[in-house]
């Protein structure tokens, strides 16, 4: 219990560092947000007015104090263009991204873990070599190139799936949702399947050499049960760790995938904010995604005790 | 006489021999060398990558235009070749700079307790910020040039290098030969350079290849999102970005640079894996 509290408290300094980072990037960078917002034809007075409105004219420590207080109350700032709260914008765009991420994780776990286990079980066989080649290739193809290759074959040539767009399952039902989410989810999951299957293979290979696996075989347990109960359960910790680390990768992937398939989610919100140079939204989103990353890694650290009862704090 | 000479023959096999004995590493290095050569001298032989030719708009790949042309009549082959030069430059520059800075910070963090706490907290925070978003923010604030793109991709790569170097330093500083050096009164800078630094080289070379691969992918993603190197300088990312609008009409604009990028990144990754296995099997576990 003490560990849990300690671990939760340990996220605070990380969040503070993230907040400071974002604060200084926006304010101390070579560009001036106020003059960018004001546009090319603005006069010096216009720029000064915007600077005062945004609080950029205050001394830097006052700005920092205000910013920290604002963040502590859960306020991620507002858009410099539409004046909407960033939290409002996020809640409008959350659903597609959440469902895309969930589909990707489900697909990854369903494909990568059996594939990696099989590769470890038949180490040195053709399936093992295939997994190794696939994982190197999966790391090397840019997400959007893969996306366009899929669009070319499955949407333009074969016409099996729609080219782009998103249909909410709550509005249009499950089938249209699945038809639209399949390609984005496959696109986004390839890199994770590469990563997780390789990790699964490595940790299962190690576990299969353990004495308890030999004991299980000796007492006549079926190979399937050995893999599932003994090998995979003991190999779970490194696999789950990699899943956590790759959340950061996924956030970048979401931005790209959503713009390839025109999914109106958080990734598109990032891109729209960048194109509109809306620094209020950009900094709010960076903070939001960083906090999500910190939170997920907290959950994963805490889950170790459940996955592996040998780990006690 | 012959006996004395045979005794001296028993040396370690040379590095070159070790590298050649690893087939995939050799293959990766050869492909990479060819790609680097094309990027280096290719632009002198191909046509102008930014020349507009309305007579040759939207030509599919064929014997005259190997990779086809785009809606402005620009030759995708010339563009892909000169884009490769930019992508490789970005990859190598990011790898070099992030390894250099990461090495410096990692040595400090690993050896000086007080700095360790500060540096590692900052690195934890930096790691929590998704790299692509950080790069996008940095570039959109400071204006897109090749230099700002390199800086923006480098910053998110630094924490991984720092962590790696720090972990090597923490292991090595407990070794008997380091303790012996301290006992003998060797000064700190000289312990760092003579005893600690050489141990970081092998893992850093491997890490540098992974950083290079990931930097080229990030560059292409930034270019693709329109937040990277400006379109006047063709890079694989921004060529593909321009191909987005016309994808249904001329898919080859995305296809060829995409495949080129995939092959390049893959050969860099293969070289990284090969070096990891060859240089020191022990470091494989730290990656």
* Whether B131 contacts chain A with CB within 8 A: yes
- CA of A310: how far to CAs of A203, A233, A237, A304, B245, in Å? 17, 12, 11, 9, 55
Which B residues in the span 177-236 are in contact with A, Cβ-Cβ below 8 Å? 213, 217-218, 220-221, 224-227
* Whether B158 contacts chain A with CB within 8 A: no
* Whether B140 contacts chain A with CB within 8 A: yes
Cβ distance of A152 and B251 shorter than 8 Å? yes
Beta bridge partners of A85: A78
Query: pLDDT for A231-264, tens place per residue?
Result: 787 778 888 888 877 776 788 888 888 888 888 8
Smallest CA–CA distance, residue B174 to chain A, in Å, is: 26
Mean pLDDT of A136-158: 83
Q: How far, in Å, CA of A166 to CA of A176, rounded? A: 9
The pLDDT, as a whole number, for residue B97 is: 95
- Reported ipTM: the value is 0.82
Q: How far, in Å, CA of B60 to CA of B168, rounded? A: 52
Residue to substitute from A140, A262, A285, interface B, most B β-carbons within 10 A:
A140
Instruction: State if pTM tops 0.80.
Output: yes
Could you give the percent of chain A with pLDDT greater than 70?
Answer: 96
Residue to substitute from B31, B87, B141, interface A, most A β-carbons within 10 A:
B141
The pLDDT, as a whole number, for residue B101 is: 95
The pLDDT, as a whole number, for residue B285 is: 47
The pLDDT, as a whole number, for residue B4 is: 47
Beta bridge partners of B75: B69
Cβ distance of B240 and A144 shorter than 8 Å? yes
The pLDDT, as a whole number, for residue A24 is: 82
Residues 6+ apart with CB under 8 A from B46: B75, B77, B78, B81, B82
* Whether A154 contacts chain B with CB within 8 A: no
Q: How far, in Å, CA of A78 to CA of A76, rounded? A: 7
Residue A14 has pLDDT above 70, yes or no: yes
Token reading at B169: 């330093």
Residue to substitute from B25, B80, B137, B287, interface A, most A β-carbons within 10 A:
B137
Q: How far, in Å, CA of B184 to CA of B104, rounded? A: 25
Cβ distance of B133 and A137 shorter than 8 Å? no
Contact list, A26 vs chain B (CB under 8 Å): 137, 141
Minimum Cα–Cα distance from A14: chain B residue? B125
Mean pLDDT of chain A: 82
* Whether B249 contacts chain A with CB within 8 A: no
Q: How far, in Å, CA of A288 to CA of A244, rounded? A: 17
Query: pLDDT for A23-39, tens place per residue?
Result: 887 776 666 667 766 76
Smallest CA–CA distance, residue A155 to chain B, in Å, is: 10
Which of B125, B247, B266 has the CB atom closest to A18's CB atom?
Answer: B125
- Residue ranges of chain B with per-residue pLDDT less than 70: 1-15, 18-19, 47, 51-52, 54-59, 62-66, 68, 70, 72-73, 280-287
Which of B126, B224, B269 has the CB atom closest to A256's CB atom?
Answer: B224
Query: pLDDT for B155-169, tens place per residue?
Result: 999 999 999 999 888
B231 vs A294, which has greater pLDDT?
A294
Cβ distance of B128 and A18 shorter than 8 Å? yes
- CA of B244: how far to CAs of A108, B133, B223, B253, B282, in Å? 27, 21, 12, 8, 44
Cβ distance of B137 and A144 shorter than 8 Å? no
Give chain A's radius of gyration (CA, Å). 24
* Whether B170 contacts chain A with CB within 8 A: no
| pLDDT band, very low/low/confident/very high, at A312 (cuts 50, 70, 90) | low
Closest CA to B164 of B25, B286, B57: B286
Smallest CA–CA distance, residue B190 to chain A, in Å, is: 33
Which A residues in the span 268-307 are in contact with B, Cβ-Cβ below 8 Å? 270-271, 274-275, 277, 279, 282-283, 285-286, 289-290, 293-294
Query: pLDDT for A166-215, tens place per residue?
Result: 878 788 777 887 888 888 989 899 988 888 888 888 888 888 888 888 88
Minimum Cα–Cα distance from A16: chain B residue? B125
* Whether A20 contacts chain B with CB within 8 A: yes
């Amino acid at each position: 219990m003490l560990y849990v509290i300690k671990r939760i408290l340990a996220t605070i300094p990380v969040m503070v560092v993230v907040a400071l980072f974002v604060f200084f990037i926006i304010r101390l960078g070579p560009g001036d947000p106020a003059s960018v917002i004001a546009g090319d034809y603005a006069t010096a007075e216009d720029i000064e007015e915007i600077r005062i409105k945004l609080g950029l004219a205050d001394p830097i420590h006052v700005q920092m104090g205000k910013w920290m207080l604002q963040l502590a109350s859960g306020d991620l700032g507002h858009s410099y263009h539409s004046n909407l709260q960033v939290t409002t914008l996020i809640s409008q765009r959350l659903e597609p991204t959440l469902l895309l991420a969930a589909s990707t994780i489900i697909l990854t776990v369903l494909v990568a873990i059996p594939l990696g286990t099989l590769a470890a079980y038949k180490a040195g066989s053709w399936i093992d070599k295939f997994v190794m080649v696939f994982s190197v290739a999966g790391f090397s193809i840019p997400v959007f190139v893969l996306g366009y290759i899929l669009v070319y074959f499955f949407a333009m040539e074969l016409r099996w799936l729609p080219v782009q767009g998103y249909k909410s399952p709550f509005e249009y039902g499950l089938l249209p949702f699945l038809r639209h989410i399949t390609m984005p989810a496959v696109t986004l999951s390839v890199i994770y399947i590469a990563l997780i299957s390789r990790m699964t293979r490595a940790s299962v290979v190690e576990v299969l050499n353990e004495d308890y696996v030999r004991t299980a075989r000796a007492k006549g347990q079926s190979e399937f049960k050995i893999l599932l109960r003994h090998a995979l359960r003991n190999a779970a910790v490194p696999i789950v760790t990699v899943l956590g680390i790759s959340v950061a990768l996924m956030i970048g992937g979401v931005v790209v995938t959503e713009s390839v398939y025109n999914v109106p989610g958080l990734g598109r919100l990032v891109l729209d904010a960048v194109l509109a140079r809306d620094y209020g939204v950009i900094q709010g989103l960076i903070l939001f995604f960083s906090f999500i990353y910190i939170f997920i890694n907290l959950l994963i650290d805490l889950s170790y005790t459940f996955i592996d009862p040998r780990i006690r704090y | 006489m012959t006996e004395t000479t045979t005794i001296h023959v028993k040396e370690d096999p040379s590095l070159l021999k070790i590298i050649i004995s690893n087939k995939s590493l050799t293959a990766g290095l050869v492909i990479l060398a060819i790609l680097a050569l094309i990027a280096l001298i290719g632009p002198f032989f191909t046509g102008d990558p930014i020349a507009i030719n309305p007579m040759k708009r939207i030509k599919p790949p064929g014997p005259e235009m190997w990779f086809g042309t785009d809606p402005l009549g620009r030759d995708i082959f010339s563009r892909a070749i000169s884009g490769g030069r930019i992508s490789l430059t970005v990859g190598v520059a990011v790898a070099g700079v992030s390894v250099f800075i990461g090495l410096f910070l990692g040595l400090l963090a690993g050896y000086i307790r007080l700095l360790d706490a500060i540096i590692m907290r900052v690195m934890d925070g930096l790691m929590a910020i998704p790299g692509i978003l950080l790069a996008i923010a940095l570039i959109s604030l400071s204006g897109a040039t090749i230099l700002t793109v390199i800086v923006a991709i480098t910053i998110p790569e630094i924490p991984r290098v720092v962590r790696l170097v720090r972990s090597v330093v923490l292991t090595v500083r407990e070794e008997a030969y380091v303790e012996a050096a301290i006992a003998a009164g060797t000064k700190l800078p000289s312990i760092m350079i003579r005893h600690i630094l050489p141990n970081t080289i092998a893992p850093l070379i491997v890490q540098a290849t992974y950083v290079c691969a990931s930097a080229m992918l990030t560059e292409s993603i930034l270019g693709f999102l329109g937040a990277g190197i400006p379109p006047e300088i063709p890079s694989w990312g921004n060529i593909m970005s321009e191909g987005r609008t016309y994808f249904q009409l001329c898919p080859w604009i995305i296809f060829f640079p995409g495949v080129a990028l995939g092959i390049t990144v893959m050969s860099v990754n293969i070289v990284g894996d090969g070096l990891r296995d060859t240089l020191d099997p022990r470091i494989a576990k730290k990656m």
